[in-house]
Structure 1
């Protein structure tokens, strides 16, 4: 696996466990008598990007020195589970909810309009109904966006795979974040003069049959930062390897699991940004309603090449080194 980096200007899921971070104690107060802040974390599912976001968040909160108790809950890609976890946090009286991925944030926002919610790994907070405006949320929700460089990814695809004429767009129809990215992908493919066909799944159980149905119909598959596809990226990759079908992914973890190449943001850094925002809220320095949605404006995009996959399907990735 090769990784290189480029500058870009834009914008550990632990299931059902509670951990104590910082210098807090389990009785609601720290050893020095300070308040221990309770944070509830709801993560949609386990895959590399969301796990990294979670890790970055916890690191940032710990680095602040605030006494915190963190309750980690993972919905295992069951959106109804998110809608059970979020109200439980409200009932527990947490001081802040950290929501990882759009459905998790939507469940949290539906459970409370009072408790601060910080989200991450969310493509567009406003389009997902979480805030009134990304620059001024005016709700109890804020956070960091993983808006994907869709256009740049597809331009890279055309550079590496110049013979591709028709692209399969693979995503989960139940994820609003994917709808946003697929629209952007269609616009970019139109601009590039390439045809496309949608291959949508409604759950992970459909991944195999839907991907197999794409074989012979398209010259390459593209999947955005879709949580269902990310969790099943190894399965997609295996089918693509067997049929020598290039699979271009929306982020690094998906590429490593079964993709061919990608241009990705750093999800651990994204989680750190969210963690720093949460610290400001807990310290009373700011309120979600006034905190603009943040992007990794000074971060680096990661160019990831899966050389093993490239060799298996006979694709030359040297164009990525230019």
Structure 2
């Protein structure tokens, strides 16, 4: 075999091997591309599912807020109805008395005067003079309270559509506490709120976060423990912040779970008692408002969730 033939065969072997390698690479690239398309489709589906579940969690939290406010509305309506019953009875007595006075002539006899005097004693006019203004005032303020609560309920239909507005954290905390209702059972709630702090954002979303943190605290205490609510200002890195702390004396969170507590779908509750999206949603809302949500916890001692929200710089 000549040297030229040897080089030719070597070249042909090398060319055949290169073509085979290119064919294999092309097949692997095609398979990899198909896998990438499949992975992108799966990720899009998971993102869609996550968004749907987050919306479901928001709706569930909204339902809880609505139920709590409805319970709060029943209280002023209850005493307003009771007051109106008394007012009706007293008004009937006063109308009867006025009619008796009208029947008196210019020179009433002693029998008519005695009858009128008896009716006045039965009416207990000094008692009415003291109680009637109080009753009317209570009814008026009770109805104002109902009007304000209904205004809050109307906001729920605008979730996600609200413009940024000034938010009284005292008011938001009060509404979040109202949503607990009977759920708090035997929990003792201690409030250390100090002066009110105003932040800017979506009021309903902040209420959702506070409501979720409070309900989690009740669950951690199994309905029988101490929950401390703290509101305080804080200056950090030349920026003023509002800090809302929800501290419970419950079961606490294991150290290995603290890094995952804000992950979507992660929950330490029993099956059927949580979606694992509440804290993830709350964390997202805090970040959306330029703040943060953090936790410190120790098993058997309790947990402290800290919501940090920025204040507007002074003008």
TM over 0.5: no
Specify which structure has the higher proportion of helix: 2
Specify which structure has the higher proportion of strand: 1
Higher relative contact order (CA 8 A, sep 6+): 1
TM-score of the aligned structures, taking structure 1 as reference length: 0.23
